[in-house]
Amino acid sequence: MNSSRRDFIRHSSVLSAGLFISKDEWFKTNKNIGVQLYTLRADMGKDPKGTLQKLSLLGYKEVETFGYNKGKWFGMTAAELKDVLKSNGLSSPSGHTFPGGTFLKDGWEDNWKQAVEDAKALGQKFIVIPWLEEQHRKPMDNYKKIAAGLNKAAGICKQVGGIEVAYHNHDFEFVKEDGQSGFDILMKETDPKQVKMELDIYWAVKAGHNPIDLFNAHPGRFVMWHVKDIDNTDKKFFTEVGNGTIDWKPIFAQAKKSGMKHFFVEQDVCPGPPIESVGKSISYLKKNIVK
């Protein structure tokens, strides 16, 4: 049996585990499908307004931002971007902002507070740490410092009001050293009432973890998900939702237990125009998940 076939069987059997999709209570009140705009980063750089309109026409209702820079996104202020979103029937509940290394430097608090205020002005409910730079992933104690920073950042969010902080994972957080991983430290050392997680399901599965096991271990912590699939090759590369080896139905059946409030289609690399890939993903989700 070749490795790609083994991976397919492993992903399907581990994630299915006798679970079936039902009309989860979550979907009775929220049918919004979101997209992380980083997927369309080149398009957003050239024509942000036109790209947002195209996403709206595909049926997306929410977008997660990236590229925050001194009070602006894609060259627009919070008020300007909010108006563009509203005119297209879109909203932005979340945004990727500063990397994890921010909390390893002195004097980050003022920039953080300003970013939180700008995010609130845009109407966002979550401000997300999207990435930990490679040079900061060791020593393992750095994760404890980042956890402390996240707790402090959450306190600033609370002062501003109406917004929370979340951390977005990749696969490297799951690498263990002396029996513990960066992910373990972040979950243990952060205040579960104030610091939330945005689970990137692709990266968690690629790292060998069943998302449902994570939901069971940490119910309510994963308020947002990134949804992208793993292709059926030895490379385990990104592919459109429904076009790969992840069994999405049992995962979505556990939306309520995970604490999920928003989910975003993301595809770091697309084989062709990104707008076509996110079109395929939302088509699958509408047909099979969010009915």
- Tens of pLDDT, residue by residue over 196-255, are 999 999 999 999 999 999 999 999 999 999 999 999 999 999 999 999 999 999 999 999
Pick the CATH number of 3-288 from 3.20.20.150, 3.30.360.10, 3.40.50.9100, 3.30.420.40: 3.20.20.150
Closest CA to 232 of 222, 223, 240, 221: 240
In this predicted structure, the answer to whether residue 19 has a pLDDT above a threshold of 60 is no
Average pLDDT across the chain, whole number:
92
In this predicted structure, the answer to whether residue 28 has a pLDDT above a threshold of 70 is no
In this predicted structure, the answer to whether residue 17 has a pLDDT above a threshold of 50 is no
pLDDT of residue 31: 77
pLDDT of residue 192: 97
Q: And the tokens for 157?
A: 């969010």
124 CB-near residues (< 8 Å, 6+ apart): 65, 92, 93, 94, 95, 163
Taking residues 114-139, what's their average pLDDT? Answer: 98
- pTM score of the predicted model: 0.91
Q: Can you tell me the distance from the alpha carbon of 102 to that of 143, in angstroms, rounded to the nearest whole number? A: 12
Q: And the tokens for 88?
A: 């297209």
Q: Can you tell me the distance from the alpha carbon of 180 to that of 178, in angstroms, rounded to the nearest whole number? A: 6
Q: Can you tell me the distance from the alpha carbon of 74 to that of 83, in angstroms, rounded to the nearest whole number? A: 14
Residue 139, preceding peptide bond in cis (omega within 30° of 0): yes
Indicate the domain borders of the chain: 3-288
Reported as a single tens digit per residue, the pLDDT across 72-82 is: 999 999 999 99
Between 30 and 278, name the one with better pLDDT: 278
pLDDT of residue 24: 56
Reported as a single tens digit per residue, the pLDDT across 223-240 is: 999 999 999 999 999 999
Taking residues 151-175, what's their average pLDDT? Answer: 98
Taking residues 108-122, what's their average pLDDT? Answer: 98
Q: Please give the backbone phi and psi of residue 213, each rounded to the nearest 5 degrees, phi first.
A: -60, -40
How many percent of the chain have pLDDT more than 90? Answer: 89
In this predicted structure, the answer to whether residue 289 has a pLDDT above a threshold of 60 is yes
Q: Can you tell me the distance from the alpha carbon of 40 to that of 213, in angstroms, rounded to the nearest whole number? A: 31
Closest CA to 211 of 174, 164, 236, 185: 174
Its sign, for the CA torsion 248, 254, 255, 260, is negative
